[in-house]
């Protein structure tokens, strides 16, 4: 049985439980007082071990474009906005995202995986709204950012409903759509440095009626390639609109190096998940997170239902003739 199928079976089982859901899962602590970008560079450049021999390219922060803007975020505000878990859930969720990020980093940076172009560019997707996609994107980025050798960039590409930009107070900031519309806007103008373990954020920017066409443009393709190379020592995570309700998500998927599909326990139907999978490039690494799963008593997350499920060959799901 494929691991995606196991995830779908777990989804079916969890929907039968008589328990209350939770708005999301995942997270690590904010940047400690006194920790700076210089400290992060020192850790990356000074790390040792044999892992570097497996890397697709050596990590080199000198490629990075320095953001022109910066913000300081407060963890309590992020919890109120639903981007960070409550204090009582923080440790177990942080541990789960430590497990979730490992296949993402392996597909992004190890040479023995034929992942194609933009391998370090990750699309966080869902079939329908409400699955906790933005929550998972934010906390995956946070978890990746505490790695010793790599960092993270978070792009709010949910341009129709830019929840991350709004939660971070960047809803009116120049961002992705502005950059695609106006060739005079510099790349550094849309980059925002944060105190979240040196995470760089790109806001969604203004709303536009031709957002689909802008995201399908050559300038968008060039931007993704630029992010993949200028931030080659980081995972670049795109938070995107629901696949089954918008055209924007499917357009974005064509430029992504790998995809993580968030499945909402007890809510997402197997049909919607399979339809969403059918819209994606079968040659790319596609993985799944079963989100909002709690045990029958409703007093904690059940780790065997919440996890990261590598996407197998398409025939593993649909049969050899699919």
CATH code assigned at 213: 3.40.50.300
pLDDT at residue 182, rounded to an integer: 97
pLDDT tens track for 270-302 = 899 999 988 988 788 888 898 887 643 343 333
* Residue 203 predicted with pLDDT over 80: yes
pLDDT at residue 10, rounded to an integer: 59
Task: Categorize the per-residue pLDDT at 29 as very low, low, confident or very high, splitting at 50, 70 and 90.
Answer: very low
Residue 106 lies inside a defined structural domain of this protein: yes
Mean pLDDT, rounded, for 65-76: 95
pLDDT tens track for 92-102 = 999 999 999 99
Residue 154 lies inside a defined structural domain of this protein: yes
Residue 302 lies inside a defined structural domain of this protein: no
pLDDT at residue 59, rounded to an integer: 55
Residue 308 lies inside a defined structural domain of this protein: no
Residue 241 lies inside a defined structural domain of this protein: yes
Residue 14 lies inside a defined structural domain of this protein: no
* Residue 240 predicted with pLDDT over 90: yes
Q: Which of 95-99, 128-132, 175-179, 286-290 has the highest mean pLDDT?
A: 175-179
Residue 203 lies inside a defined structural domain of this protein: yes
Residue 44 lies inside a defined structural domain of this protein: no
pTM reported for the whole predicted model: 0.78
SS3 track for the chain = CCHHHHHHHHHHHHHCCCCCCCCCCCCCCCCCCCCCHHHHHHHHHHCCCCHHHHECCCCCHHHCCCCCEEECCCHHHHHHCCCCCCHHHHHHHHHHHHHHHHHHHHHHHECCCCCCCCCCEEEEEECCCCCCHHHHHHHHHHHHHCCCCCEEEEEECCCCCCHHHHHCCCCCCCCHHHHHHCCCCCHHHHCEEECCCCCEEECCCCCCCCHHHHHCCHHHHHHHHHHHHHCCCEEEEEECCCCCCCCHHHHHHCCCCEEEEEEECCCCCHHHHHHHHHCCCCCCCEEEEEECCECCCCCCECCCCCCEEECCCHHHHHCCCC
Q: How many domains in the chain?
A: 1
Mean pLDDT, rounded, for 129-157: 94
pLDDT at residue 179, rounded to an integer: 98
For residue 236, the enclosing domain spans 59-258
* Residue 18 predicted with pLDDT over 80: no
């Amino acid at each position: 049985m494929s691991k995606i199928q196991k995830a779908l079976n777990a989804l079916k089982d969890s929907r039968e439980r008589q328990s209350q859901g939770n708005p999301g899962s995942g997270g690590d602590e904010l940047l400690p007082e006194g920790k700076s970008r210089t400290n992060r560079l020192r850790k990356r450049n000074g790390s040792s071990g044999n892992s570097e021999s497996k890397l697709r390219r050596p990590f080199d922060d000198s490629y990075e474009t320095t953001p022109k803007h910066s913000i300081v975020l407060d963890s309590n505000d992020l919890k109120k906005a639903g981007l960070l878990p409550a204090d009582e859930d923080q440790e177990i969720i942080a541990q789960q995202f430590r497990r979730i990020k490992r296949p993402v980093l392996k597909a992004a940076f190890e040479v023995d995986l034929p992942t194609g172009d933009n391998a370090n560019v990750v699309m966080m997707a869902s079939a329908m709204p409400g699955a906790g996609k933005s929550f998972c994107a934010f906390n995956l980025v946070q978890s990746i950012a505490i790695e010793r050798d790599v960092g993270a960039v978070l792009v709010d590409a949910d341009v129709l409903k830019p929840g991350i930009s709004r939660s971070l107070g960047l809803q009116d900031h120049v961002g992705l759509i502005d950059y695609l519309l106006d060739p005079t806007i510099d790349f550094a103008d849309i980059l925002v440095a944060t105190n979240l373990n040196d995470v760089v954020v790109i806001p969604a920017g203004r709303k536009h009626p031709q957002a689909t066409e802008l995201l399908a443009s050559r300038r968008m393709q060039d931007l993704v390639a630029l992010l993949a190379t200028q931030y080659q020592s980081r995972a670049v995570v795109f938070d995107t609109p629901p696949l089954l309700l918008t055209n924007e998500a499917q357009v974005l998927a064509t430029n992504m190096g790998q995809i993580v599909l968030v499945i909402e326990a007890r809510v997402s139907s197997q049909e919607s998940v399979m339809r969403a999978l059918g819209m994606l490039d079968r040659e790319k690494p596609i993985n799944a997170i079963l989100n909002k799963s709690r045990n029958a008593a409703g007093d904690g997350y059940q780790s065997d239902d919440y996890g990261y499920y590598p996407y197998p060959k398409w025939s593993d799901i649909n049969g050899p003739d699919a």
